[in-house]
């Protein structure tokens, strides 16, 4: 793992946070609050925030809406990535993805193994790209949100991080849509 390159300037990204839950309300959304605090502490901008129930169509519609918003670079959702019947966030994300970031789930599982052992197999954390926007689906626990941000996303959303990071290729995510 390489540390941030000194010669590059930090570039803040605009991040939307979506909590998916049938039971959480804005005043007790600890996982959403965890993500917002961390992204702001890292120097990024909270571009939008919402809370939706576990409804696949509604989640996919919100993801599409935010992907179409030029003021949003990244969407991070929390909740609905487990194995129960109401856990449909992963399916909603995959309904929207143009490309999946396959290694994200693997790296998240490796991080989780250190923290929670074999219970990590119950997470279906995923990531992808759609409409020039990064999309991440994280588990609903504050610990999982903290681990994903601290161990993976914080570095990948720091332009100074080398040898590569998500920020440096952000302008090229939708190049296939541009005229030649």
Q: Model confidence over 132-150: pLDDT tens digits? A: 999 999 999 999 999 999 9
pLDDT at 95 over 70: yes
DSSP structural state of residue 129: E
pLDDT at 78 over 80: yes
The structure's pTM equals 0.93
The pLDDT > 90 percentage for the chain reads: 86
> How many angstroms from the chain centroid is the CA of residue 148?
9
pLDDT at 176 over 90: no
- Kindly report the CA angle at 13 between 8 and 16, in degrees rounded to 5? 160
pLDDT (0 to 100) of residue 3: 54
pLDDT at 6 over 70: no
Distance CA 109, CA 101 (A): 14
pLDDT, mean of residues 107-125: 93
pLDDT at 105 over 60: yes
pLDDT at 120 over 70: yes
Label residue 180 by pLDDT band (50, 70, 90).
low
Distance CA 25, CA 40 (A): 21
Residues 137 and 127 sit within 8 Å (Cβ to Cβ): yes
pLDDT (0 to 100) of residue 100: 97
């Amino acid at each position: 793992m390489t540390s941030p390159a000194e010669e590059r300037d930090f570039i803040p990204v605009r991040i939307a946070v979506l909590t998916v839950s049938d039971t959480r309300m804005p005043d007790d959304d600890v996982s959403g609050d965890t993500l917002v605090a961390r992204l702001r502490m890292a120097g990024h901008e909270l571009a939008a925030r919402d809370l939706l129930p576990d409804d696949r169509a509604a989640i996919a519609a919100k993801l599409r809406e935010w992907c179409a918003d030029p003021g949003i670079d990244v969407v991070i959702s929390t909740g609905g990535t487990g194995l129960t019947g109401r856990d449909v966030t992963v399916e909603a994300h995959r309904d929207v993805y143009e490309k999946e970031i396959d290694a994200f789930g693997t790296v998240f599982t490796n991080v989780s193994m250190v923290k929670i052992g074999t219970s990590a197999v119950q997470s279906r954390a995923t990531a992808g790209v759609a409409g020039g926007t990064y999309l991440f689906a994280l588990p609903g626990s504050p610990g999982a949100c903290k681990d994903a941000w601290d161990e993976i996303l914080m570095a990948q959303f720091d332009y100074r991080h080398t040898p590569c990071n998500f920020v440096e290729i952000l302008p090229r995510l939708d190049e296939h849509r541009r005229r030649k």
